[in-house]
């Protein structure tokens, strides 16, 4: 079984409170991107490729290999391996060791950039849970898979549903929202910059936002600029001015709205004019992707 693993962008991101456990409460809208990449309507590939084979038998386990872009991470710490281990433990706990299991051979062909705020690793983990569930007869509900995903990362549950969602808490409390961006173009720029989570949160001042992202679907796209903000830009842009310059350049090239995604170093622009979007792509350096939304 082969799955094409898409990414996400954040449409606004507000840090609203510091929690007693040291984490921060946030509000954001997760929006999936690249779902149709590699297909005729979206010829530019922007996804990871997850291939999984299952051999029933008495031995239960996982053989994992990684291809494509290399990540400095030992296999046992890869989120695909962690997701597989969590799923198999949950399966055996729920259905018992006598139920049919076997050996899973998993290959991850990695293309999505890491440290970008696009959720690539989280998506890999959640797609692993979904694929394992399909191979074993869909014994878990989406809600149960989301509970597993929550143990792997705050934004992992989103990729179980993979539809636009308003997120609260640390990103794990989800409610579907109707955000229609069809007909627009999305340009993602990922420079050779890595933003650590520590750097992103350093100096963040939690506050209630001026605009409530719950109502984003009522706000026309051409009114997002200045109202739909990513609070991490305040702490990240001064440390990495190249990212601020990319955002400004996207506006100069005709983007209706531009923003940093998540706490990473990817900057995206939404264009209503396809020709201007294509021109922006032609004049940008490597690490760029263009999609029709």
Q: Give the strand pairing for 101-110 and 61-68.
A: parallel
CA distances to 55, 188, 257, 289 from 27, rounded to whole Å, are 42, 22, 19, 26
Considering the entire predicted model, what is its pTM?
Answer: 0.92
Instruction: Indicate which residues carry an active-site annotation.
Output: 8, 155
Please give the order of strands across the beta sheet that includes 257-260.
257-260, 267-271, 185-189, 288-292
The pLDDT value recorded for residue 71 is 72
Helix (H), strand (E) at residue 242: helix 241-252
Burial of 38 (0-12, 13-18, 19+ CB in 10 A): middle
Query: May I ask the CATH class of domain 185-292?
Result: alpha beta
The pLDDT value recorded for residue 131 is 96
The pLDDT value recorded for residue 23 is 84
Query: May I ask the CATH class of domain 2-176?
Result: alpha beta
The pLDDT value recorded for residue 100 is 58
The pLDDT value recorded for residue 286 is 66
For the chain, domain boundaries: 2-176, 185-292
| Percentages (nearest 5) of helix, strand, coil residues in the chain | 30, 30, 40
CB 90 within 8 A of CB 82: no
The pLDDT value recorded for residue 206 is 93
Region class of 57: left (phi > 0), else alpha (psi between -120 and 50), else beta: left
Each residue's pLDDT tens digit in the chain (293 positions)? 999 999 999 999 999 999 888 789 999 999 999 887 666 656 677 899 999 998 876 677 788 988 887 776 777 789 999 999 999 999 988 887 655 577 889 999 999 988 899 999 999 999 999 999 999 899 999 999 999 999 999 999 999 999 999 999 999 999 999 999 999 999 999 999 988 888 888 888 899 999 999 999 999 999 999 999 999 999 999 999 999 999 999 999 999 999 999 999 999 999 999 999 999 987 656 689 998 88
């Amino acid at each position: 079984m082969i799955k094409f693993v898409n990414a996400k962008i954040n449409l606004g991101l507000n840090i609203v409170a510091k929690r007693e456990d040291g984490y921060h409460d946030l509000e954001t809208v997760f929006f999936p991107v690249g779902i149709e990449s590699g297909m005729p309507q979206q010829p530019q590939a922007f996804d990871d490729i997850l291939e999984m084979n299952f051999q029933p038998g008495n031995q239960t386990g996982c053989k994992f290999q990684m291809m494509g872009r290399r990540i400095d991470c030992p296999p046992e710490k890869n989120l695909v391996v962690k997701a597989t281990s969590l799923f198999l433990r949950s399966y055996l706990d729920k259905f018992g060791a006598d139920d049919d299991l076997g050996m899973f051979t998993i290959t991850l062909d990695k293309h999505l950039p890491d440290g970008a705020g696009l959720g690539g690793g989280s998506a890999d983990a959640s797609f692993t849970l979904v694929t394992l569930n399909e191979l074993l007869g869909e014994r878990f509900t989406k809600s149960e898979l989301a509970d597993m995903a929550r143990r792997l990362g705050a934004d992992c549950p989103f990729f179980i549903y993979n539809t636009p969602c308003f997120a609260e808490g640390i990103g794990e409390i989800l409610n579907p929202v109707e955000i229609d961006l069809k007909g627009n173009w999305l340009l993602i720029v990922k420079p050779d910059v890595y933003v650590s989570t520590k750097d992103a949160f350093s100096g963040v001042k939690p506050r209630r936002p001026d605009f409530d992202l719950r109502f984003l679907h009522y706000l026309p796209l051409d009114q997002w600029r200045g109202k739909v903000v990513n609070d991490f830009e305040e702490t990240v842009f001064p440390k990495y001015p190249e990212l601020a310059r990319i955002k400004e350049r996207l506006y100069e090239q005709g983007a209706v709205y531009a923003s940093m995604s998540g706490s990473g170093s990817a900057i995206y622009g939404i264009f209503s004019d396809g020709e201007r979007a294509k021109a922006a792509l032609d004049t940008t350096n490597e690490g760029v992707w263009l999609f029709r939304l």
